[in-house]
Chains A and B, each alone.
Chain A
């Protein structure tokens, strides 16, 4: 006999809201540290724009936002069909 699942009892490390909050805070701090390295260390670069403060960080952030926005608001309306689209 399978025991019915008790969600509250089964909550583990990554389900508890306070743990998620803690993880997020650590992550935000780490991100800040990573971008601040640019102040103290001069990266060796090939292109001029790579020298800007936080170039890679800003690029990564903007790229992902653009990616999601384009996918959600342009690609999905164009391509999304119901799951059985090809079956009938």
Chain B
């Protein structure tokens, strides 16, 4: 018997008191929740817990193993850091949705069956949407609605896959799936939406920069990383993931170079980093999986840190576009320092966290003799240094002096950034503490002389290129602009679809109106005004057409007109019709 609760419950149920707590009590409770939740997780031994039957399937609320544990650890760490960073936020919608969002991520991570997983998966979408919406600007409400619709579509795809998968295999257990059946493809794509694969990525760069300052810290940590966790468990060694990862590592860096909104630059760089994880999962060797998981762990910290520094800049200056910023190192020296630590970590400088995890994926690619993949990843490594490592700190804190003088970030924000920055350096210097918790045992040593030298050369000369291009005036000047991406298809495309549908249905409507509401009743009205004459005239016309004799037509028409007007039908005609009618009637009577 264990005395713990299922891992997700502490945060999700713990969000309820936030409805009525106020001021300091609320802040303390928000900080306490991740700690309580972590203690609860520590009380859980490895294995499956809370298993019970539901219909014909087995539900497992918590399955604890090395893979779920390491994601559990980092989710708790970042939940605490994000809560600390958001200590000043007095908005219940954000407080509650942030806490539930972190709880939902834990729910997915420890779900032992597909049904539990799906419930928490949807809870992730709902709570994340509120983090975007609660910025309450026109852009945020638009981006939040689009976020919701894209993720609901992805969730339905996942649900369809889960139902077919459970039906065919007869088991609801969540474990290795592999890309084989139709159902496995549906699940794969449904998860891919959350993972921001190419062409499904635009929700991320659309919504994260529009979310609230503190909401983005939560967002950057959970949605994509739970999807990474899902793929690590269900699709390790799936070759398609290598190519998806290559695409993700490659294309966003070009966008990041020309993007003006610095939080959007970070959103593109997030996709780029998840690309490294995809390649690692796709390669599927122990080293590669370890690399993917370690990189997810580090990315949550350094990407969160970078988003926090940009958030602090936004909080103090109200601006986030590179064109509006610059020279802030004088006003915000600590934030600037933390930003540089984050930048060094994401660029994989030796002694910073990115160095000890990215290299595992690179090494796995070179051991697998994946030459093209290796080249793209190396290109992406240079590129990420270029846009996230140099561009972010340079345009925000150095570059030209924007004239902005503001206060340093508030203390709780500095503390949150400080914790994240210290962890980045600590993991970079003592990677064995991270390696000890990876899914597979490893004796990997990132600090070989060759590796340190080659990485330093790569980074120094990337920086040299930046410097020379900037001095030479070739570096693209930041401009206030929107860069269209794949979301164009549904943001502009939907308007065209709306217009096209409008035109199609409007024309059908107009046609129906003309034929059925106007011309047909008119013709009918004309006919029933004088039906007998109309029939006779029509008959006369047909007769003249068939015989080709136009002569008697006018006479016959006049006759028909005369007869009906004066009711001048011969009596014999009426008797003749009556006799025919009686004859037909008796014929029916005799036959049936």
| Residues of chain A whose beta carbon lies under 8 Å from any beta carbon of chain B | 5, 7, 10, 12, 14-15, 24, 27-28, 30-31, 34-35, 37-38, 41, 43-47, 50, 54-65, 67-72, 75-76, 79-87
When distances are taken between beta carbons in the complex, the residues of chain A under 8 Å from B383 are: 63-64, 67
How near does chain A come to B311, taking the closest CB pair, in angstroms?
21
Give Cα distance in the complex from A76 to B258, angstroms: 7
Given contacts A43-B454, A47-B366, A81-B482, contact A61 B476 (CB under 8 A): no
Residue of B nearest to A46 (CB): B366
* Pairs across A and B, CB under 8 Å, 28 listed: A7-B403, A10-B401, A27-B464, A30-B460, A43-B454, A46-B366, A47-B366, A55-B454, A59-B458, A61-B461, A63-B383, A63-B462, A64-B383, A64-B461, A65-B465, A67-B382, A68-B465, A71-B254, A71-B476, A75-B258, A79-B485, A80-B482, A81-B482, A83-B480, A84-B482, A85-B482, A85-B484, A86-B482
How near does chain B come to A80, taking the closest CB pair, in angstroms?
5
How near does chain B come to A60, taking the closest CB pair, in angstroms?
4
When distances are taken between beta carbons in the complex, the residues of chain B under 8 Å from A61 are: 461-462, 464-465
**Could you mark each residue 491-532 of chain B with 1 if its beta carbon is under 8 Å from any beta carbon of chain A, else 0?**
110000000000000000000000000000000000000000
How near does chain A come to B217, taking the closest CB pair, in angstroms?
25
When distances are taken between beta carbons in the complex, the residues of chain A under 8 Å from B467 are: 24, 27
Give Cα distance in the complex from A38 to B458, angstroms: 12
Given contacts A68-B476, A75-B254, contact A60 B458 (CB under 8 A): yes
Q: A46-B363, A60-B382, A67-B257 are in contact. List 15 more A-B contacts (CB 8 A).
A: A5-B405, A14-B398, A27-B463, A35-B457, A37-B453, A38-B453, A60-B462, A61-B464, A68-B386, A68-B465, A72-B476, A79-B255, A79-B485, A80-B482, A83-B481
Give Cα distance in the complex from A4 to B302, angstroms: 37
Please tell me if the beta carbons of A54 and B481 are within 8 angstroms of each other in the complex: no
When distances are taken between beta carbons in the complex, the residues of chain B under 8 Å from A10 are: 330, 401, 405
Give Cα distance in the complex from A30 to B401, angstroms: 27
| Residues of chain B whose beta carbon lies under 8 Å from any beta carbon of chain A | 138, 142, 253-255, 257-258, 327, 329-330, 363, 366-367, 371, 374, 378-379, 382-383, 386, 398, 401, 403, 405, 448-450, 453-467, 469, 474-476, 479-485, 491-492
- Among B367, B453, B474, B485, the residue within 8 A (CB) of A68 is B474
Given contacts A44-B450, A64-B383, A67-B386, contact A57 B461 (CB under 8 A): yes
Q: Which 8 A-B pairs have the closest CB atoms?
A: A64-B465, A43-B450, A60-B461, A71-B257, A60-B458, A56-B457, A63-B382, A72-B476
Please tell me if the beta carbons of A81 and B484 are within 8 angstroms of each other in the complex: yes
Give Cα distance in the complex from A76 to B485, angstroms: 11
Please tell me if the beta carbons of B460 and A83 are within 8 angstroms of each other in the complex: no
Residue of A nearest to B485 (CB): A79
Please tell me if the beta carbons of B401 and A7 are within 8 angstroms of each other in the complex: yes
How near does chain A come to B248, taking the closest CB pair, in angstroms?
16
Please tell me if the beta carbons of B484 and A79 are within 8 angstroms of each other in the complex: yes
When distances are taken between beta carbons in the complex, the residues of chain A under 8 Å from B481 are: 80-83
How near does chain A come to B482, taking the closest CB pair, in angstroms?
4
When distances are taken between beta carbons in the complex, the residues of chain B under 8 Å from A59 are: 378-379, 382, 458, 461
When distances are taken between beta carbons in the complex, the residues of chain B under 8 Å from A80 are: 258, 479, 481-484
Given contacts A71-B258, A83-B481, contact A57 B465 (CB under 8 A): no
When distances are taken between beta carbons in the complex, the residues of chain B under 8 Å from A27 are: 463-464, 467
Residue of A nearest to B206 (CB): A86
When distances are taken between beta carbons in the complex, the residues of chain A under 8 Å from B483 are: 75-76, 79-81
How near does chain B come to A67, taking the closest CB pair, in angstroms?
5
- Among B253, B378, B480, the residue within 8 A (CB) of A67 is B253
When distances are taken between beta carbons in the complex, the residues of chain A under 8 Å from B449 are: 41, 43
How near does chain B come to A56, taking the closest CB pair, in angstroms?
4
How near does chain A come to B445, taking the closest CB pair, in angstroms?
12
Please tell me if the beta carbons of A72 and B464 are within 8 angstroms of each other in the complex: no
Give Cα distance in the complex from A61 to B258, angstroms: 19
Give Cα distance in the complex from A81 to B483, angstroms: 6
Give Cα distance in the complex from A5 to B405, angstroms: 8
Please tell me if the beta carbons of A64 and B466 are within 8 angstroms of each other in the complex: yes
When distances are taken between beta carbons in the complex, the residues of chain A under 8 Å from B453 are: 34, 37-38, 41, 43
Please tell me if the beta carbons of A56 and B482 are within 8 angstroms of each other in the complex: no
Give Cα distance in the complex from A26 to B401, angstroms: 23
Please tell me if the beta carbons of B484 and A76 are within 8 angstroms of each other in the complex: no
Residue of B nearest to A2 (CB): B405
Give Cα distance in the complex from A70 to B476, angstroms: 11
- Among B371, B405, B460, B474, the residue within 8 A (CB) of A47 is B371
Given contacts A46-B366, A81-B482, contact A60 B459 (CB under 8 A): yes
When distances are taken between beta carbons in the complex, the residues of chain B under 8 Å from A46 are: 363, 366-367
Give Cα distance in the complex from A86 to B378, angstroms: 35
Residue of A nearest to B366 (CB): A46
Please tell me if the beta carbons of A44 and B382 are within 8 angstroms of each other in the complex: no
- Among A15, A56, A62, A86, the residue within 8 A (CB) of B454 is A56
When distances are taken between beta carbons in the complex, the residues of chain B under 8 Å from A76 are: 258, 476, 483
Residue of A nearest to B474 (CB): A68
Give Cα distance in the complex from A5 to B363, angstroms: 52
How near does chain A come to B533, taking the closest CB pair, in angstroms?
62
How near does chain A come to B299, taking the closest CB pair, in angstroms?
21
When distances are taken between beta carbons in the complex, the residues of chain A under 8 Å from B374 are: 47
Give Cα distance in the complex from A71 to B22, angstroms: 49
Residue of B nearest to A63 (CB): B382
When distances are taken between beta carbons in the complex, the residues of chain B under 8 Å from A82 are: 481-482
How near does chain B come to A61, taking the closest CB pair, in angstroms?
4
